C-alpha cells in the first residue's frame, strides 16, 4: 500500500522487483502476419489520432498493465463511479477510444477494427466488445474535478465525440517507432535489474531541469540509490519549452553530472490529460509497471492553473490504494537569496524571502535577456545550454 513518505519509508517495504500492477506485465505486441490476418476480416479501418496512438502504445507495451485494451463501458463506469476497474484495482483516468458518431453502424460487437497510422498502414487491431456513450459532464466532474470549460482537460473532452469503442488490442511490434529516449517497461525493468540497486525512485516532469528538481533528485538518490528521470511528452502546449529541449537538459544531468550507473532517462509518453491528482495516480501506475519502487510527488504535481490545491496530488495517495509503489511526498524546494541555496520550508530562517522556481520565470527572463536572473533557477551548465539554444532559434512550442 502506498504511504506518504517519511524518512522511514525508504527503509524498504517496497523492494525489487516491484510487481507489475495486477501481477503481470502486459505485452500485446505480435508480428506483422497476425495483424495482417486480423485486418483482413476487420469491419472498419480507422486512422489513429495522436492521443489514441500514445494510449495504444502504452496499453500494448504494458505501461497501463493490467489493461489489455481500450476501456469497455463496464470498466469506464466502474472508474467513474468507484475509481476502480471492474476487477477491483484502483484506476482514476479512463483510457477511451472516441469514434465519430457517423461511423457507429459500422462497428459490431466481436468484430475487429483495423487501426492505421497517419500513413494508412495497419499497425494494430481492436476487437470491439463495447460501444457506448460518454457523458462529458460526468467525466469532467469526476476526473478533472471541474466542468469549467477554461480547464484544458475539460475543453479537450468537450471537443471529442461522445461515442467510444472498447475492447482488447493487438499491436504489430515492428511498426512501433519509439520516440527519442522512449523505453518500454520491459526494457526499463532490465536496466534497473542490471544496475544492482535494490530500490528505485522515479521523478517525472514536463519542465526543463531547474535547481529545485535537482534538490529532489539528490533526496531520491540519497534515499533510494537509483533515480529514473521521466520527461513527460505528448501534450505540447504553445509557449512551453519544446520536448527536445526539455530532454536535453536531463540528458546533460544524467550523462555529465550525476553518478554513473545510478540514473536513467526515459521519455514517458502521455496524451494531454491535465487531471492533476488523478493524472499523478496514472503516472504512479506506469512507473510501478516499469519496476520503480518509489515515486517523487511534489507540489501541484500534474496540476494545471489553480484547479488543484498545492499538495492534492500527494493527498490522493494518502488514504492508501491497490498500488504498491511508495510515494515520496516532498515539500516544495525554493531559492533562498540569503542562503544562496535551494531549501524547503523549515530549513533556514528566511521563510518570507523564499522564491519559487518555475519554467515560466525562465521563459520570462530569457525573453527579457535578463540572463543573470537565471542563476537563481538553473545550474550554470543548463543556463548556458538554454541561452545558446534560445539565441540559435525558437525553443518554444508554437501556437
Enumerate binding residues for Zn ion (CB under 5 A).
336, 338-339, 348, 350
Return the residue matching grid coordinates 496524451. 271
Residue placing its CB nearer to Zn ion in the complex, 82 or 350: 350
Note whether 336 and 348 are within 8 A (CB): yes
Query: Could you please report the per-residue DSSP string of 227-281?
Result: EEEEEEES---TTSBPHHHHHHHHHHIIIIISPTTSEEEEEEE--S---THHHHH
Residue placing its CB nearer to Zn ion in the complex, 180 or 350: 350
Note whether 373 and 352 are within 8 A (CB): no
Say how far apart CA 331 and CA 61 lie, in whole Å: 33
Say how far apart CA 223 and CA 221 lie, in whole Å: 6
Q: What are phi and psi of 319, to 5 degrees?
A: -80, 0
Q: Residue 356 CB, nearest distance to Zn ion (Å)?
A: 14
Q: Residue 334 CB, nearest distance to Zn ion (Å)?
A: 9
Q: Residue 339 CB, nearest distance to Zn ion (Å)?
A: 3
Residue placing its CB nearer to Zn ion in the complex, 339 or 397: 339
Say how far apart CA 90 and CA 113 lie, in whole Å: 29
Q: Residue 218 CB, nearest distance to Zn ion (Å)?
A: 18
Residue placing its CB nearer to Zn ion in the complex, 101 or 353: 353
Residue placing its CB nearer to Zn ion in the complex, 79 or 357: 357
Residue placing its CB nearer to Zn ion in the complex, 187 or 218: 218
Sign, Cα dihedral of 84, 326, 281, 202 = negative
Return the residue matching grid coordinates 526539455. 246
- Reduce the DSSP state of residue 146 to 3 states and report it: coil
Residue 165, CB half-sphere, CA atoms under 13 Å: how many? 27
Q: Residue 340 CB, nearest distance to Zn ion (Å)?
A: 8
Q: Residue 343 CB, nearest distance to Zn ion (Å)?
A: 6
Amino acid at each position: 500500500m502506498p504511504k506518504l513518505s517519511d524518512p522511514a519509508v525508504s527503509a524498504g517495504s517496497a523492494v525489487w522487483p516491484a510487481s507489475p500492477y495486477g501481477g503481470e506485465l502486459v505485452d500485446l505486441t505480435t508480428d506483422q502476419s497476425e495483424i495482417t490476418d486480423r485486418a483482413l476480416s476487420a469491419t472498419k479501418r480507422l486512422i489513429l489520432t495522436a492521443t489514441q496512438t500514445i494510449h495504444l502504445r502504452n496499453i500494448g507495451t504494458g505501461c497501463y498493465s493490467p489493461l489489455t485494451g481500450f476501456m469497455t463501458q463496464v470498466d469506464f463506469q466502474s472508474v467513474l463511479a468507484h475509481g476502480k476497474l471492474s476487477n477491483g484495482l484502483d484506476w482514476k483516468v479512463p483510457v477511451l477510444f472516441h469514434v465519430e458518431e457517423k461511423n457507429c453502424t459500422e462497428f459490431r460487437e466481436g468484430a475487429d477494427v483495423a487501426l492505421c497510422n497517419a500513413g494508412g498502414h495497419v499497425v494494430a487491431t481492436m476487437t470491439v466488445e463495447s460501444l457506448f456513450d460518454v457523458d462529458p459532464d460526468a467525466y469532467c466532474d469526476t476526473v478533472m474535478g471541474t466542468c469549467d470549460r477554461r480547464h484544458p482537460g475539460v475543453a479537450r473532452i468537450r471537443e471529442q465525440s461522445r461515442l467510444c469503442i472498447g475492447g482488447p488490442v493487438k499491436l504489430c511490434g515492428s511498426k512501433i517507432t519509439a520516440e527519442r529516449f522512449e523505453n518500454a517497461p520491459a526494457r526499463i525493468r532490465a536496466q534497473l535489474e542490471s544496475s544492482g540497486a535494490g530500490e528505485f525512485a522515479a521523478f517525472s516532469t514536463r519542465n526543463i531541469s531547474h535547481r529545485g528538481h535537482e534538490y529532489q533528485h539528490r533526496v531520491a538518490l540519497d534515499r533510494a540509490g537509483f533515480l529514473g528521470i521521466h520527461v513527460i511528452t505528448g501534450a505540447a502546449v504553445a509557449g512551453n519549452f519544446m520536448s527536445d529541449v526539455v530532454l536535453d537538459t536531463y540528458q546533460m544531468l544524467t550523462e555529465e553530472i550525476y553518478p554513473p550507473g545510478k540514473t536513467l532517462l526515459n521519455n514517458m509518453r502521455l496524451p494531454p490529460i491535465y487531471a492533476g491528482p488523478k493524472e499523478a495516480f496514472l503516472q504512479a501506475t506506469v512507473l510501478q509497471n516499469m519496476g520503480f519502487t518509489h515515486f517523487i510527488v511534489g507540489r501541484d504535481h500534474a496540476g494545471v492553473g489553480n484547479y488543484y490545491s498545492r499538495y492534492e496530488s500527494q493527498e490522493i495517495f494518502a488514504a492508501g490504494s491497490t498500488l504498491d509503489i511508495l510515494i515520496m511526498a516532498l515539500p516544495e524546494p525554493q531559492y533562498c537569496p540569503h542562503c544562496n541555496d535551494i531549501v524547503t520550508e523549515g530549513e533556514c530562517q528566511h521563510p518570507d524571502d523564499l522564491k519559487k522556481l518555475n519554467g515560466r520565470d525562465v521563459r520570462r527572463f530569457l525573453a527579457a535577456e535578463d540572463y543573470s536572473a537565471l542563476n537563481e533557477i538553473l545550474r550554470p551548465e543548463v543556463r548556458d545550454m538554454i541561452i545558446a539554444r534560445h539565441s540559435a532559434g525558437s525553443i518554444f512550442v508554437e501556437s
